[in-house]
């Protein structure tokens, strides 16, 4: 089997005001021509892994190879084979789209004549032909991300790293970008994608690794991960904690998966959403419980974490966040912890 | 959708670690980034303002508002003033290096550069080269404005050009110092705040605008021999006459000393900044 990316026991600790163990022995392999998804919340180590694989950062321990070349010993060669786009690889605000692409082409040491044609092609491919000669200041968020991705592709990289390519985009722009990434993979490029969205990983990646506090806590195909998890989440909101406590055991009978009680909200992952919904409503009706809300939804990263670790995805950056948000997150986590005794049965 | 494009292996210069190839690409990458930084100057209104309007305002302010209150020995104030304005303007301009680098770090551009097969040194040499080119443009503007308000150098064209070259060289060394500041700041605002406490004493506790003799005696030593004053004095001597060699040598000593310390320091900050 040919692997385009290999990470072996990567470790990285950032020392400073707060010492952070960003990677604590991360290993994975990515087959040639596939899309690999690195799934995890903020602070789980996704970006650190990408920075090491793209030669920006040296690991404290472990090795990484891209197309068989060690990223530390052959950094120059690796850089000529990869492309990087995403939340941390930016484009220049003061230049036009075309100037940005030309600059990246020049810094890739490509032929001038090739660069001009390539810039034109990429602007067309990414639907930026009309905006190509306008400064980036005038671009929308979605246009910027598209140009960012185009810049990563100027030199025809064999391996492409996309660090949270759609974070912060509206649903329409996100969809557009997904289509572009899908067409790239069709062309044989190997892609490593980091994301916080299970939906995104599910749609784009053929293999996944779930990162938590610098550890890989699960891996496999999205189908395998979802099979462990259940296809749909049934979420019932109740008027009182008492009602919620009565509802949880009722919903527990709907499938193989454990129910979680989160304040006055009861959640359960089920395989067959509509059938479980009907059974659930009947059970509530029999007990005379009237729910405030009753929702079927796709599982989120939070649900994956709950299933894998028994707790919700933690945001390492929370201390620096908006105080209201931090308080809400803490409350939510506390509620999730308190709900633990009620959760029957433990998922492997 | 894209059409088929030529194999990238045919369009990319072959990867080579030979010294000649490394130097060639370091120069090419420096020029690419210098061009990028210069384009930015023309597109950021503040940057354009600091490079053009501000020096003109300083000339007019000191020439017509403060000038008559300052007595200078042996020459008109406008002649005394202009070498000072040159040095003060290029020194202020060097702040843009610290702000620009801090901004590139903050916005993630340097992250992208680090993942490209370019010369690592080019981020700093590109920035300082752009500064040098901008300063050439700035000294031409100030020369024109100076002549318009009555500046009359007395030594001829060659010494005048030599004075200008000395200023450009000194400014180039300063750029590396402000690069160190930019690479040490957490964002562009901090870079600016860190730059000015350094810049104000250097440009104003100096012989740039007023004769040192008018200052309290405890300030005079610093005000005479600090690098900005030395450069201004050397420049004044070149443009207006007087003992020249010793001041020019002192200026070159400061400049070369700065470069010897600051170039490795900035490169080290760039390499270790994560």
pLDDT category of residue A310 using cuts at 50, 70 and 90: low
Last residue of a domain, one of A198, A226, A254: A226
Do the domain assignments include residue B2?
no
Q: Is the pLDDT of residue A321 over 60?
A: no
Chain B contact set for A117 (CB, 8 A): 5
Coil/strand/helix, residue A190:
strand
pLDDT category of residue A45 using cuts at 50, 70 and 90: very high
Work out how many domains chain A is built from and give that number.
Answer: 2
Report CB contact under 8 Å: B12, A92.
no
- Buried (b) or exposed (e) across B6-37, using 16+ Cβ within 10 A? eebeebbeeeeeeeeeeeebbebbbbbbbbbb
The winner for highest mean pLDDT among A247-261, A295-309, A313-327, B175-189 is B175-189
Is the Cβ–Cβ distance between A312 and A330 less than 8 Å?
no
Do the domain assignments include residue B130?
yes
Do the domain assignments include residue A142?
yes
Same domain, A84 and A213: yes
For chain B, percent of residues with pLDDT exceeding 90:
58
Q: How many angstroms separate the CA atoms of A210 and A105, rounded?
A: 34
The overall longest dimension of chain A from CA atoms, in Å, is: 75
Is the Cβ–Cβ distance between A72 and A58 less than 8 Å?
yes
Work out how many domains chain B is built from and give that number.
Answer: 1
Last residue of a domain, one of A173, A203, A226: A226
Q: What is the pLDDT of residue A254?
A: 79
pLDDT category of residue B253 using cuts at 50, 70 and 90: very high
Q: How many angstroms separate the CA atoms of A254 and B225, rounded?
A: 85
Same domain, A102 and A142: yes
Do the domain assignments include residue B158?
yes
Mutation target vs A (from B11, B31, B270; most A CBs, 10 A cutoff): B11
Do the domain assignments include residue B76?
yes
For residues A259 and A286, the model is more confident at A286
The winner for highest mean pLDDT among A3-12, A162-171, A211-220 is A3-12
Same domain, A168 and A250: no
Do the domain assignments include residue B136?
yes
Do the domain assignments include residue B5?
no
Q: Is the pLDDT of residue B108 over 80?
A: yes
pLDDT category of residue A177 using cuts at 50, 70 and 90: confident
Q: Is the pLDDT of residue A43 over 90?
A: no
Q: Is the pLDDT of residue A334 over 50?
A: no
Q: What is the pLDDT of residue B234?
A: 95
Same domain, A115 and A204: yes
Q: Which two tokens mark A198?
A: 């299970």
Do the domain assignments include residue A173?
yes
- Compute the residue count for chain B: 274
Task: Catalogue the long-range contacts made by B38-47 (C-beta closer than 8 Å, 24 or more residues apart).
Answer: B38/B130, B38/B133, B38/B134, B39/A94, B39/A95, B39/A99, B40/A92, B40/A94, B40/A95, B40/B100, B41/B96, B41/B130, B41/B134, B43/A94, B43/A135, B44/A94, B47/B96
Measured CB to CB, residues of chain B less than 8 Å from chain A are: 1-3, 5-6, 8, 11-13, 15, 17, 25, 28-29, 32-33, 36, 39-40, 43-44, 107-109, 111-118, 122, 274
Q: How many angstroms separate the CA atoms of B259 and B265, rounded?
A: 9
Q: Is the pLDDT of residue B91 over 80?
A: yes
CATH code, domain carrying A151: 3.40.50.300
Coil/strand/helix, residue A96:
strand
Q: Is the pLDDT of residue A131 over 90?
A: yes
Chain A contact set for B115 (CB, 8 A): 54-56, 79, 82, 84, 89
Which whole number is the average pLDDT over A208-221? 90
Q: What is the pLDDT of residue A264?
A: 87
Same domain, A213 and A304: no
Do the domain assignments include residue A321?
yes
Report CB contact under 8 Å: B2, A125.
yes
Mutation target vs A (from B12, B114, B116, B271; most A CBs, 10 A cutoff): B116
Q: Which two tokens mark B176?
A: 């590396």
The owner of tokens 């990319």 is B12
Closest Cβ opposite residue A118 in set B5, B32, B33:
B5
Q: How many angstroms separate the CA atoms of B220 and B61, rounded?
A: 24
Residue A16, φ and ψ in degrees, nearest 5: 160, -150
Last residue of a domain, one of A182, A199, A226: A226
Q: Which of B98, B92, B107 is nearest to B128 (CA)?
A: B98
Do the domain assignments include residue B8?
no
Poorest-pLDDT segment among A139-153, A169-183, B26-40: A169-183
CA nearest to A78 within chain B? B117
Per residue in B183-235, pLDDT tens?
999 888 899 888 888 899 998 999 888 888 889 999 999 989 999 999 999 99
Rg of the Cα atoms in chain A: 23
Q: What is the pLDDT of residue A230?
A: 66
Poorest-pLDDT segment among A58-67, A221-230, B96-105, B136-145: A221-230
Q: Which two tokens mark B28?
A: 């090419």
Residue A168, φ and ψ in degrees, nearest 5: 90, 0
CA atoms within 13 A on the CB side of A293: 10
Q: What is the pLDDT of residue B49?
A: 81
Report CB contact under 8 Å: A84, B112.
yes
Do the domain assignments include residue A152?
yes
Per residue in A80-129, pLDDT tens?
999 999 776 588 989 999 999 999 999 999 998 999 999 999 999 888 99
Same domain, A246 and A100: no
For residues A70 and A300, the model is more confident at A70
Q: Is the pLDDT of residue B1 over 60?
A: no
Domain that holds residue B220: 19-272
Same domain, A71 and A217: yes
Q: Which two tokens mark B121?
A: 């040194």
Q: Which of B114, B128, B101, B99 is nearest to B274 (CA)?
A: B114
CATH code, domain carrying A330: 3.30.70.1710
Q: What is the mean pLDDT of chain B?
A: 89
Q: What is the mean pLDDT of chain A?
A: 83
Q: From edge to edge, which strands make up the β-sheet containing A293-297?
A: A259-262, A265-270, A232-237, A293-297
Q: Which two tokens mark B101?
A: 């680098």
pLDDT category of residue B36 using cuts at 50, 70 and 90: very high
CA atoms within 13 A on the CB side of A273: 13
Same domain, A291 and A151: no
Chain A contact set for B13 (CB, 8 A): 109-111
For residues A228 and B76, the model is more confident at B76
Coil/strand/helix, residue A129:
coil
Do the domain assignments include residue A291?
yes
For residues A118 and A254, the model is more confident at A118
Which whole number is the average pLDDT over A249-278? 82
Same domain, A197 and A269: no
Poorest-pLDDT segment among A127-136, A230-239, A272-281, B8-17: B8-17
Give, as one character, the DSSP assignment of residue B13.
P
- Buried (b) or exposed (e) across B178-198, using 16+ Cβ within 10 A? bbbbbbbbeebebbbebbeeb
Domain that holds residue A104: 3-226
For chain A, percent of residues with pLDDT exceeding 70:
86
Q: Is the pLDDT of residue A26 over 70?
A: yes
Q: Is the pLDDT of residue B149 over 50?
A: yes
Q: How many angstroms separate the CA atoms of A28 and A74, rounded?
A: 20
pLDDT category of residue A324 using cuts at 50, 70 and 90: very low
pLDDT category of residue A184 using cuts at 50, 70 and 90: confident
Report CB contact under 8 Å: A82, B115.
yes
Do the domain assignments include residue B13?
no
Measured CB to CB, residues of chain A less than 8 Å from chain B are: 14, 51, 54-57, 76-77, 79-80, 82, 84, 87-95, 99, 103-104, 106-111, 114, 117-118, 121-122, 124-125, 135, 151, 155-156, 183
Which whole number is the average pLDDT over B257-267? 96
Per residue in A278-307, pLDDT tens?
888 998 899 888 899 998 887 776 777 777
Residues whose CB falls within 8 Å of the CB of residue A27, separated by 6 or more in sequence, listed in order: A7, A8, A9, A10, A62, A216
Same domain, A206 and A240: no
Do the domain assignments include residue A167?
yes
Q: How many angstroms separate the CA atoms of B238 and B232, rounded?
A: 10
pLDDT category of residue A311 using cuts at 50, 70 and 90: low
Report CB contact under 8 Å: A95, B40.
yes
Closest Cβ opposite residue A109 in set B6, B13, B36:
B13
Q: How many angstroms separate the CA atoms of A74 and A201, rounded?
A: 30
For residues A26 and B17, the model is more confident at A26
Q: Treating both helix axes as pointing N-terminal to C-terminal, what angle do A97-107 and A112-125 enclose, rounded to 10 degrees?
A: 140
Q: What is the pLDDT of residue A298?
A: 77
Q: Which of B77, B54, B82 is nearest to B66 (CA)?
A: B77
Do the domain assignments include residue A347?
no
Same domain, A220 and A333: no
Do the domain assignments include residue A61?
yes
Same domain, A210 and A270: no
Instruction: Tell how far CA B253 is from the center of its chain.
Output: 17
């Amino acid at each position: 089997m040919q692997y385009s990316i290999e990470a072996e026991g990567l470790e990285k600790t950032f020392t400073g005001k707060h010492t952070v163990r960003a990677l604590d022995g991360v290993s994975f392999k990515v087959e040639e021509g596939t899309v690999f998804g690195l799934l995890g919340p903020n602070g789980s180590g996704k970006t650190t892994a990408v920075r090491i694989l793209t030669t920006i950062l040296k690991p404290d321990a472990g090795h990484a190879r891209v197309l068989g070349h060690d990223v530390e010993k052959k950094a120059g060669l690796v850089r000529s084979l990869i492309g990087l786009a995403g939340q941390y690889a930016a484009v220049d605000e003061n230049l036009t789209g075309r100037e940005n692409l030309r600059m990246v082409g020049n810094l890739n040491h490509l032929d001038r004549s090739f660069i001009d044609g390539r810039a034109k092609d990429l602007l067309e491919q990414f639907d930026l032909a009309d905006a190509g000669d306008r400064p980036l200041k005038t671009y929308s968020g979605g246009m910027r991300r598209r140009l960012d991705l185009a810049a990563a592709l100027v030199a025809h990289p064999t391996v492409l790293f996309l660090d949270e390519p759609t974070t912060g985009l509206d649903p329409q722009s996100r969809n557009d970008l997904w289509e572009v990434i899908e067409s790239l993979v069709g062309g044989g490029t190997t892609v490593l994608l980091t994301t916080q969205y299970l939906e995104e990983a599910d749609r784009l990646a053929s293999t996944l690794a779930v990162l938590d506090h610098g550890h890989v806590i699960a891996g496999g195909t999205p189908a395998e991960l979802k099979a462990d998890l259940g296809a749909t989440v049934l979420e019932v909101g109740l008027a009182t904690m008492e009602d919620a406590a009565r509802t949880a055991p009722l919903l527990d009978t709907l499938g193989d998966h454990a129910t979680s009680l989160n304040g006055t909200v009861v959640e359960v992952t089920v395989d067959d959403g509509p059938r479980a919904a009907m059974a659930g409503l009947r059970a509530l009706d029999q007990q005379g419980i009237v729910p405030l809300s009753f929702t079927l939804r796709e599982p989120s990263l939070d649900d994956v974490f709950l299933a894998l670790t028994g707790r919700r995805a933690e945001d390492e950056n929370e201390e620096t966040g908006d105080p209201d948000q931090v308080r809400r997150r803490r409350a939510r986590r506390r509620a999730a912890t308190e709900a633990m005794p009620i959760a029957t049965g433990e998922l492997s | 959708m894209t059409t088929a494009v030529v194999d990238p292996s045919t369009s990319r210069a072959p990867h080579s670690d030979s010294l000649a190839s490394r130097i060639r690409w370091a120069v090419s990458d420096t020029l690419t980034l210098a061009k990028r930084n210069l384009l930015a100057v023309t597109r950021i209104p503040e940057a354009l303002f600091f490079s053009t309007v501000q020096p003109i305002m300083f000339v007019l302010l000191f020439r017509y508002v403060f000038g008559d209150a300052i007595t200078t020995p042996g020459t008109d104030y406008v002649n005394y003033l202009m070498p000072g304005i040159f040095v003060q303007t290029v020194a202020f301009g060097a702040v843009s290096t610290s702000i620009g680098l801090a901004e590139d770090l903050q916005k993630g551009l340097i992250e992208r550069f680090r993942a490209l097969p370019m010369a690592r040194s080019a981020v700093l040499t590109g920035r300082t080269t752009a500064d040098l080119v901008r300063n050439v443009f700035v000294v031409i503007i100030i020369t024109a404005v100076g002549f318009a308000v009555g500046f009359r150098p007395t030594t001829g064209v060659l010494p005048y050009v030599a004075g200008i070259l000395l200023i450009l060289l000194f400014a180039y060394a300063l750029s590396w110092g402000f690069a160190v500041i930019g690479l040490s700041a957490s964002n562009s605002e901090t870079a600016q705040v860190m730059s000015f406490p350094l810049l104000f004493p250097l440009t104003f506790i100096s012989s740039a605008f007023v004769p040192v003799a008018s200052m309290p005696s405890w300030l005079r030593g610093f005000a005479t021999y600090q690098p900005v004053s030395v450069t201004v004095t050397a420049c004044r001597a070149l443009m207006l006459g007087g003992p020249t060699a010793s001041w020019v040598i002192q200026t070159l000593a400061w400049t070369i000393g700065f470069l010897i310390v600051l170039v490795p320091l900035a490169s080290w900050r760039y390499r270790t900044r994560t």
